[in-house]
Amino acid sequence: MKNKVKFLLDANVFIEAYRRYYSFDIAPSFWELLEKFAESGKIISIDRIGNELKKGNNDDPLRNWAITNFDQWFMSTDDQNVFSAYRIIIEWVQKQVQFREYAKAEFASVADSWLIAYALAYNHTIVTHEEYNKDAKKRVLIPNVCKAFNIPYINTFDMLRALKAVVSINII
């Protein structure tokens, strides 16, 4: 039986949607779709992304949504398969002369490295708004690492298309 593609969401998927084009008051159906696809096992994220989203103030709608509506789909990275993949990824990044040392150190300490490790360990597609940049030096970008490890990555809109999702708009 063919595995279902599981999409693994980066923090910027949630943050950009909330801040720019799918705020809760304008497009609540987007957030309902995320919950629906998470419930059906098609999308997840990781605990470290969840922790980033939950750092907001108590009155932050995105923080509250993440805690109330999506918390169970932030998967634990405390897993031997993920640790092994993380080690492989960090070793690769450390060998790349293209990236500045501070960029390598930052990458090792943020959720991005763990997101990629989870995708590598479990063969998931990463959903991010970052774009590949062969000349990146000051920051280790998710797509650059994905490309090195043949991990598929797409943006939010391509994920929605792949899931055949339709964000509905109601005129009040």
Q: What is the pLDDT of residues 115-168, one digit of tens each?
A: 999 999 999 999 999 999 999 999 999 999 999 999 999 999 999 999 999 877
Q: Which of 25-29, 37-41, 168-172 shows the lowest per-residue confidence on average (mean pLDDT)? A: 168-172
pLDDT at 1: 33
Look at residue 4 and tell me whether its pLDDT is greater than 80: no
Q: Over the Cα atoms of the chain, what is R_g?
A: 16
Degrees to nearest 5, angle at CA 41 with 36 and 44 = 85
Q: What is the pLDDT of residues 5-32, one digit of tens each?
A: 699 999 999 999 999 989 999 999 999 9
SS3 34: helix
Helix axes 101-109, 111-122, angle to 10 degrees: 70
Domain ranges of the chain: 7-74+156-162, 80-154
Distance CA 147, CA 153 (A): 9
pLDDT at 167: 76
Q: What pTM did the predictor assign?
A: 0.93
Distance CA 13, CA 42 (A): 15
Q: What is the pLDDT of residues 55-73, one digit of tens each?
A: 988 899 999 999 999 999 9
